[in-house]
């Protein structure tokens, strides 16, 4: 295979076949700094006849193969700006709230005991395995499963231990409003072979004063190592400026945001957690087919109603589908976080 480029024009010749490719400037940087990734991505593009895949725009119904191309590029470029995850904090500390507000996420120390992590896994494993066999695959994505939880058995105990005993509610209420609802509650699993996700926020960031982000806590139900595709979070991107840039994934400005924004991988210990502002750019990583292991995260999210409202809307203002809140529908707008003591009793 021969690859030639003159300024921004590029061609690849494979045997007798010559292909012209169009690409944004940042691909030169990927080629120079991460040639293996460059080739892997472009070979795929060439042989699947998706020559324009790396310049596909978001939002839109991306095919899984296109998502993989975008995600691989984003992974390569963000890897250069990776920093170690900060030491974990206790949720009730003012520093934890400050980190969440200024950096868009915070790393939390043990908020679920090993025993409860194991009990929750026992509780959900049949549902996860059933979903993994087809029906519950998340957004059609390979090997990612989402199971919403009812407040019963080990799931109820989990909510009580995190929110109450270990004071996660203090942090969620401090970040959201005092009348915030528990708006998402379930278990997310990525299995070996799961693809990397494109970098995304969970909700929009317009800068409107009334805007209310969702604060999501991911608790690791087992240790998460680099082979299992930890969540990658881009520091301080919960801003309208970052969102404006990120809404044009093909631009050089977006590539430069990815290359220059420090990011962390949430390699969590069992029972430890990250809480993030839904506007923070992030992505679940690839769970490696050979060295990966099942990565299960409990998620609990809180959101306050907009100013002047007492309830949440029927679906959150997301930038990409699916739009629904990840909670059993009968709980929507019913569970106030500050009343954790009642609904987990």
Binding site for ligand AKG (CB under 6 A): 188, 190, 197, 202, 231, 282, 284
**Residue whose CB is less far from ligand AKG, 123 or 318:** 318
Give the pair of three-digit tokens for residue 180. Answer: 């915030």
Q: How far is the CB of 22 from ligand AKG (least distance, A)?
A: 30
**Residue 147 CB, nearest approach to ligand AKG (Å):** 13
Selection from 281, 203, 258, 265 nearest residue 231 by Cα: 265
Give 123 or 196: the residue with its C-beta nearer to ligand AKG: 196
User: How far, in Å, are 10, 12, 64 from residue 1 at the CA level?
Assistant: 13, 7, 26
Assign 3-class secondary structure to 232-266.
Answer: EEECCCCCHHHHHHHCCCCCHHHHHHHHHCCEEEC
Q: How far is the CB of 230 from ligand AKG (least distance, A)?
A: 7
Q: Which is nearer to ligand AKG, 78 or 344 (CB)?
A: 78
| 3 state SS of 139 | helix
Report the C-alpha gap between 320 and 317 in whole angstroms. Answer: 9
Q: With respect to ligand AKG, which residue has the nearer C-beta, 21 or 221? A: 221
Nearer to ligand AKG, 188 or 221 (CB): 188
Please report how close the Cβ of residue 23 comes to ligand AKG at its closest, in angstroms.
27
Minimum distance between the CB of residue 188 and ligand AKG, rounded to whole angstroms? 6
Describe the crossing of helices 252-260 and 64-79 by its angle, rounded to 10 degrees. Answer: 50
CA 211 to chain centre: 20
What is the length of the chain? 345
The smaller minimum CB distance to ligand AKG, of residues 161 and 202, is found at 202
Q: Which is nearer to ligand AKG, 45 or 88 (CB)?
A: 88
Is residue 20 within 8 A of residue 11, CB to CB? The reply is yes
Instruction: Write down the least CB distance from residue 206 to ligand AKG, Å.
Output: 19
Contact 227, 291 (CB under 8 A): yes
- Minimum distance from residue 178 beta carbon to ligand AKG (Å): 27
Residue nearest to ligand AKG (CB): 284
Check residue 278 and report its DSSP letter.
Answer: T
| Other residues' Cβ atoms within 10 Å of the Cβ of residue 341 | 11
């Amino acid at each position: 295979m021969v690859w030639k480029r003159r300024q921004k024009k590029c061609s690849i010749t494979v045997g007798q076949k010559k292909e012209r490719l169009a690409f944004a400037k940042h691909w030169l940087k990927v080629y120079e700094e991460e040639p293996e990734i460059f080739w892997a991505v472009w070979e795929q593009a060439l042989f699947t006849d998706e020559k324009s895949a790396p310049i596909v725009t978001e939002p839109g119904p991306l095919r899984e193969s296109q998502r993989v191309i975008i995600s691989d590029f984003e992974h390569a470029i963000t890897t250069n700006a990776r920093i170690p995850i900060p030491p974990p904090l206790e949720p009730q500390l003012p520093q934890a709230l400050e980190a969440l507000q200024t950096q868009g996420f915070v790393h939390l120390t043990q908020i679920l005991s090993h025993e409860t992590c194991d009990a929750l896994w026992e509780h959900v494993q049949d549902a996860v395995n059933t979903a993994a066999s087809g029906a519950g695959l998340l957004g059609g994505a390979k090997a990612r499963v989402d199971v919403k939880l009812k407040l019963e058995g080990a799931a109820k105990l989990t909510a009580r231990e995190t929110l109450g005993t270990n004071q996660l509610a203090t942090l969620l209420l401090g970040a959201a409003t005092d009348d915030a609802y528990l708006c998402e509650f379930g278990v997310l699993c990525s299995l070996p072979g799961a693809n990397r996700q494109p970098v995304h926020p969970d909700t929009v960031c317009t800068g409107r004063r009334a805007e209310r982000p969702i604060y999501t806590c991911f608790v690791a139900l087992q240790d998460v190592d680099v082979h299992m595709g930890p969540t990658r979070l881009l520091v301080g991107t919960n801003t309208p400026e970052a969102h404006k840039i990120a809404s044009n994934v093909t631009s050089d400005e977006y590539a430069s945001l990815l290359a220059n924004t420090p990011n962390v991988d949430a390699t969590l210990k069992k029972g430890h957690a990250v809480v993030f502002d839904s506007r923070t750019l992030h992505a679940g990583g690839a769970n490696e087919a050979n060295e990966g292991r099942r990565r299960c995260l409990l998620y609990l999210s809180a959101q306050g109603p907009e100013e002047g409202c007492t309830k949440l809307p029927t679906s959150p203002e997301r930038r990409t589908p699916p739009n629904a809140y990840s909670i059993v529908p009968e709980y929507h707008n019913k569970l106030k976080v500050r009343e954790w003591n009642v609904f987990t009793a």
